[in-house]
């Protein structure tokens, strides 16, 4: 096997995670923390690009990793236009779209991933990619219909990790991915529940502001009457209400914390409120899994649970109890985003996969 060194860059709201992989082996990993007050001074998100890039390069230098030893750079895919699953070479059209707020009506720190990756890669003459960004869209037309003609259901979910784990499960059950039907559940700050038919995500909840279960931070599906009342209560602006539903709902709203370790401890101690709310989240996730089973007409090869909350024994126990009758269950704890990006870069460099054109 040829030697490939991949630099992976994953920007978050107040941090930039970086890692260097030699083939599939991790050589170096660091979570670079940023001061929120300092970031705020840049104004527009895109203005943070040069600042974050310089910190990435500094970290590599401090850890004796020559920038010229990198064979490819993979950035976290941000809010691009809806695309098919796969690896995309970063181009100017993509960068322009990531700067264009009107596409999704909002921006996200992950948008910086492509900018930093391409700038570093161009400087050393190597390719730069993104892989399976959040707006991967393989939904069937029937799944887009909402019930209100002016509103179409959208595909925004944890595509990167779900696609990566689906490849691992297919390998585990010794079946080609394009012949597999899975129900995938990623459980982090937001929760995605997806129906994969022949390897494609044909239906999924909008894990940012849409359908699905409530999560540690997000509201999930809500009774329409209550939403209308909040909209016209005079208590919130549109921006404030979006922030409430996307960042200040779910576990953090009910319990005052979205820390899984703390919640687990409270449940173990017998705290009834913590148990009720945490189990209610499991209940809603399981309902969504059941709905995906109907999308696949009961033909399900496996269910898998992944993301940070897949480490929680109580949550997994409750989910098993309600979904084990559907199909075999697999647990892949953790987000796995860095590994998934590195694996994609290696597949491209080794010729096992071709890039898609953006």
Give me the tens of pLDDT residue by residue for the chain, a chain 358 residues long: 578 999 999 998 889 999 999 998 999 999 999 988 888 889 888 999 999 999 999 999 999 999 999 999 999 999 999 999 999 999 999 999 999 988 888 888 899 999 999 999 999 999 999 999 999 999 999 999 999 999 999 999 999 999 999 999 999 999 999 999 999 999 998 999 999 999 999 999 999 887 899 999 999 999 999 999 999 999 999 999 999 999 999 999 999 999 999 999 999 999 999 999 999 999 999 999 999 999 999 999 999 999 999 999 999 999 999 999 999 999 999 888 999 999 999 999 999 999 999 9
The rounded distance, in Å, linking the Cα atoms of 108 and 91 is: 19
Task: Kindly report the backbone phi and psi dihedral angles of residue 303, in degrees, each rounded to the nearest multiple of 5, phi listed first.
Answer: -115, 135
The answer to whether position 12 is within a domain reads yes
The total number of structural domains in the chain stands at 2
DSSP annotation string for 293-307: HHHTTT--SEEEEEE
In what helix (H) or strand (E) does residue 7 lie, and over which residues does it extend?
strand 5-11
The answer to whether position 154 is within a domain reads no
3-state secondary structure of 355: coil
Residue 270, domain CATH: 3.30.420.40
Burial class (CB in 10 A: 0-12, 13-18, 19+), 233: exposed
- Predicted structure pTM score: 0.93
Domain that holds residue 242: 160-327
The answer to whether position 356 is within a domain reads no
The rounded distance, in Å, linking the Cα atoms of 294 and 288 is: 10
- Do 218 and 260 lie in one domain? The reply is yes
Burial class (CB in 10 A: 0-12, 13-18, 19+), 109: buried
- Do 296 and 345 lie in one domain? The reply is no
- Do 166 and 198 lie in one domain? The reply is yes
The rounded distance, in Å, linking the Cα atoms of 74 and 347 is: 12
């Amino acid at each position: 096997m040829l030697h490939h060194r991949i630099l992976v860059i994953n920007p978050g709201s107040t941090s930039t995670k970086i890692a260097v992989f030699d083939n599939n082996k991790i050589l170096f990993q660091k979570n670079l923390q940023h001061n929120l007050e300092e970031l705020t001074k840049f104004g527009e998100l895109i203005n943070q690009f040069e600042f974050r890039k310089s910190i990435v390069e500094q970290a590599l230098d401090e850890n004796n990793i020559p920038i010229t030893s990198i064979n490819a750079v993979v950035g976290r895919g941000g809010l691009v236009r809806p695309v098919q699953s796969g690896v995309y070479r970063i181009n100017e059209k993509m960068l322009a779209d990531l700067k264009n707020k009107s596409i999704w009506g909002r921006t996200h720190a992950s948008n910086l991933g492509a900018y930093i990756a391409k700038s570093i890669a161009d400087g050393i003459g190597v390719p730069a990619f993104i892989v399976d960004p959040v707006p991967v869209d393989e939904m069937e037309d029937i799944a887009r219909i909402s019930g209100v003609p002016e509103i179409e259901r959208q595909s925004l979910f944890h595509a990167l990790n779900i696609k990566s784990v689906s490849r691992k499960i297919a390998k585990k059950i010794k079946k080609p991915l394009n012949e597999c039907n899975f129900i995938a559940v990623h459980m982090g700050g937001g929760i995605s529940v997806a129906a994969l038919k022949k390897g494609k995500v044909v239906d999924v909840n909008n894990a940012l502001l849409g359908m699905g279960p409530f999560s540690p931070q997000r509201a999930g599906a809500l009774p329409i009457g209550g939403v209308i009342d909040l909209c016209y209560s005079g208590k919130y602006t549109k921006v404030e209400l979006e922030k409430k539903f996307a960042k200040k709902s779910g576990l953090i709203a009910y319990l005052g914390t979205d820390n899984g370790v703390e919640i687990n401890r409270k449940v173990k101690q017998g705290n009834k409120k913590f148990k009720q709310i945490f189990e209610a989240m499991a209940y809603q996730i399981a309902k969504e899994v059941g709905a995906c089973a109907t999308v696949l007409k009961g033909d399900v090869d496996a269910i898998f649970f992944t993301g940070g909350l897949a480490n929680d024994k109580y949550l997994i126990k409750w989910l098993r109890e309600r979904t084990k009758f559907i199909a075999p269950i697999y647990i892949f704890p953790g987000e796995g985003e860095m590994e998934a990006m590195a694996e994609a870069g290696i597949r491209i460099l080794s010729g096992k996969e071709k890039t898609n054109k953006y």
